[in-house]
Structure 1
Amino acid sequence: MTRPVVGIIGNTHLINDTYPTHAGGTMNSEAVATVADCVPLIVPADPRFLSVEELLETCDGFLLTGGRPNVHPAEYGHEPTEAHGDFDRARDAITLPLVRACVESGQPFLGICRGFQEVNVAMGGTLHPEIRDIPGRQNHRMPPDGTIEEKFALRHKVTLTEGGVFHRLFGASEVMTNTLHGQGILTAGRRIVIEGHAPDGTPEAVYVKDAPGFTLSVQWHPEWDAANDPVSRPLFTAFGDAVRAWAKARQPQILKTA
């Protein structure tokens, strides 16, 4: 049987500061292919090239990736400031309605970092541009120096709601994660259930209440070493199971004749 397709939301990127591309980290494709056991397909997230409707028809599930550009604050009623950093309005135009469509239909998605923030904004929530500036919060940004292994190393624990979806999935009430983000949830969107917090109170794990499908999203980067990490592996495995269930349900049923 052909593996189901996961659309990996791509980010705009300039090669050598001149050549424009849509790119997705290799670790995203590896996690989708080897742990979720699905076909990874990089999506050029730009409404000039495709529509949300075409994506829903082409893909069985979606990985909402991290990315350096942030969701534009106009999407949640705030004015942009220097602290908000760079933006990708084309990606906003695809991912926000895509999230809402998937929540409505039950088509699975997994949100990561910026993708986690997109889910919150799509459901009416707001973001803080620099959570380390909030009194009592720590710096969650990627370390500026070091190897990639050091940048993605586990840095803080996440405490999960007892008996919640993430607790049951991971089999633990506390897990260790990496952290590579500047922004964070300021106010939770409608139906957003926060089930994981960093030690400083920053929301780290959410899902959409009463959604018919898989909507788990995390602020950290589980795609790093997903095959071996005890937190990443069950997350991507569960996502892959949800995508396979969706793909099976949408296939035409062939009646066997005697």
Structure 2
Amino acid sequence: MTRPKVGIIGNSYLINDEYPAHAGGTMNSEAVAEVAGCMPLLIPSDPRFLSVEELLESFDGFLLTGGRPNVHPNEYGEAETDAHGAFDRARDAIALPLVRACVERGQPFLGICRGFQEVNVAMGGTLYPEIRDLPGRMNHRMPPDGTLEEKFAMRHIVELTEGGVFHRLFGAAEVMTNSLHGQGIKAPGSRIVIDGTAPDGTPEAIYVKDAPGFTLAVQWHPEWDAANDPVSRPLFTAFGDAVRDWADGTGARSHRKSA
């Protein structure tokens, strides 16, 4: 029996500074396959090769991954500065309209790090280019040195809204997470509910209010050790359940051609 298909939004890279490639972290595929129980397929996120409409009809759900390039500030009405870092405008052109279409259709997605920021921008929100430069904020960036285990180690708690979506999912009012991001939410977009924050007030967990489907997104990286981590596992399990519901017809499907 074929597993439901999850499209993993890829990033553009240059291998050896000269060979263009689309890539996605292996741990994303592991989390989708081993915890969510779905078939992971990497999407070359570039409108030259595919359309949002084709993606919606080809996949049952989407994983909006992290990545070094940031959402271009033009997408939320601000000018580009050196602090905004590198960009991937092709991914912007696919991911942002894809989020909006999934929200409308009820098609599930899970946002991670840059994907978290994409969900906010897609719904009309804005971003700070560098969280650590703000008064009273901690440095949320990945440690520059050390092993992968050290870089993805637990860094801070996330305080969840009492009785909220994430509180119910994790069964706890606060959880420990890793932290590997530089940017963060400045103003939440329309219908964006901030459901969890770091101790310094940085938004860490969101969803789209009144959306018919699964729209959870987190600023940390739950794909790391997802099979064993007590926070990552229920998040990917719930995502996989939502994808299966969509695939078998019990999820929101009013805008699908087959409806």
Please tell me the TM-score bracket, short chain as reference: over 0.9
The corresponding residue for 2:148 is 148
Could you say which residue in structure 2 is the equivalent of 1:166? 166
Which aligned pairs between 1:243-258 and structure 2 lie closer than 5 A?
Answer: 243-249=243-249
Measured in 2, the distance between the counterparts of 1:43 and 1:64 equals 10
Give the AA of the match of 2:163.
Answer: G
Distance in 1 (alpha carbons) for counterparts of 2:245 and 2:57: 15
1:213 aligns with 2:210: no
Q: 2:175 aligns to what?
A: 175
Q: Corresponding residue for 1:61? A: 61
1:95-106 superposed matches below 5 A = 95-106=95-106
SS across alignment from 2:31: helix
**What is the aligned partner in structure 2 of residue 40 from structure 1?**
40
Other-structure match for 2:94: 94
Give the structure-2-normalised TM-score. 0.96
For residues 124-176 of structure 1, the C-alpha deviation after alignment (integer angstroms, 9 at most, x for no partner) is 00000001111000000000000000000000000000000000000000000
CA distance in 2, matches of 1:112, 1:51: 22
TM-score (norm 1): 0.97
Task: Give 1:252 deviation, angstroms.
Answer: 11
Aligned-partner SS, 2:6 = strand
Q: How far apart are 1:76 and its partner, in Å?
A: 0.3
Unaligned runs of 5+ in 2: none
Q: Secondary structure at the match of 2:12?
A: strand
C-alpha RMSD over aligned residues: 1.2
CA distance in 2, matches of 1:28, 1:14: 20
What code does the residue aligned with 1:148 have?
A: L
Q: Which residue of 2 aligns with 1:121?
A: 121
- Percent identity reads 83
Shift of 1:15: 1.1
Corresponding residue for residue 256 of structure 1: none
Change (3 A) 1:50 1:151: same
Displacement of 1:27 = 0.1
